[in-house]
Amino acid sequence: MKIDLHCHSTFSDGSCTPLELIQRAESLSIDALSITDHDTLRAYETPLVGPVKILPGIELSSYLRETNVHILAYAFLATSPVLVEFCKTMRDRRFKRAYEIADLLKKQGVDLPDIASIFELNNTKPINRVDFGRALVKGGFVKTIQEAFKLYLGDGRSCYVDMDKFSIGEILEVVHAAQGFAVWAHPHLIEPKSLIPEILKFPFDGLECYYGFAPKKENERWARIAEEKKILATGGSDFHGDARPSVELGASLTPEPVFRFLWEHYLRLEKPHENSN
């Protein structure tokens, strides 16, 4: 099986709808997919049926001091009240940050003509930096989303705004309360590297060992760490579409036994839910 457990839809910072992601997966002979949008479960509000197996997933942000640590959650019920309430909190925080980003852009002389349309997005999805990136391209201030991040929106740039922080422990509590599995996303990218031993002390259920464009040697290193810790070794492309055009869906994959373990857990959770209707 070909299994990609990390991608993003238009409900987050991707450029493909959930249906388009599934169609793309089919065209690439991918057997199973997890749509792991940032801080939202909107992709799962409409049944996603077809030959591609869809494992519920989400990507959540936590912090260790000033370092952002992304956590992937899998195999929970998408209707989990704990996760639904958490996503509402995160949507509110992203809405507040959007106003702060808009204010900073204006102070830089970047007055987006369709700024109201960005805030209207809050009715359907959490507002993210890519939404501002697309608006900057549309307004002619930059040529690409990548340029928008380089000049304005990227970490540490002039219009970057941080959000109120959740700790790693708090995110893990939310995921486990929802009976899901918590996986440290793309640990390859963490900076500073000196934080790795401290982060690994947290009770993650897995590591995203096989990641997007990461070198094979790095993937193998993280797979060894997962094996030593006796936790899951997952993989995914982190596909975004036009926000990151160099990475295709299926660029990195999850081993089939790991997927089957998660899938069977999810089916066990789903069965009593179905019987109650």
pLDDT by residue (tens digit) across 35-73?
999 999 999 988 888 899 999 999 999 999 889 999 999
Entry field: residues in the chain = 277
- Write out the residue limits of the CATH 3.20.20.140 domain(s) in the chain: 3-79+168-275
- For the stretch 116-166, pLDDT in tens is 999 999 988 899 999 999 999 999 999 999 999 999 999 889 999 988 889
Whether the predicted pLDDT of 223 surpasses 60: yes
| pLDDT computed for residue 273 by the predictor | 53
- For the stretch 71-113, pLDDT in tens is 999 999 888 899 999 999 999 999 999 999 999 999 999 999 8
Beta bridge partners, 58, equal: 73
Query: What pLDDT band is residue 242 in, cutting at 50, 70 and 90?
Result: confident
Mean pLDDT within 183-196? 97
| H helix or E strand, kind and range, residue 252 | none
CATH for 3-79+168-275? 3.20.20.140
Whether the predicted pLDDT of 248 surpasses 70: yes
Torsion of CA 151, 117, 165, 189, to 10 degrees: -40
Query: Quick one: 105 exposed, middle or buried, by C-beta within 10 A (0-12, 13-18, 19+)?
Result: buried
Q: Within its chain, how far is the Cα of 120 from the centroid?
A: 22
Mean pLDDT within 15-37? 97
Q: What does each C-alpha distance from 2 to 22, 26, 45, 171 come to in angstroms? A: 13, 11, 25, 29
Mean pLDDT within 161-178? 93
Mean pLDDT within 237-253? 93
Whether the predicted pLDDT of 21 surpasses 70: yes
Mean pLDDT within 195-203? 98
- Total-model pTM: 0.91
| pLDDT computed for residue 276 by the predictor | 44
Tokens coding 76: 């929970």
With a CB cutoff of 8 Å and minimum separation 6, the contacts of 186 are 70, 208, 211, 212, 214, 238
Mean pLDDT within 262-269? 96
Whether the predicted pLDDT of 274 surpasses 80: no
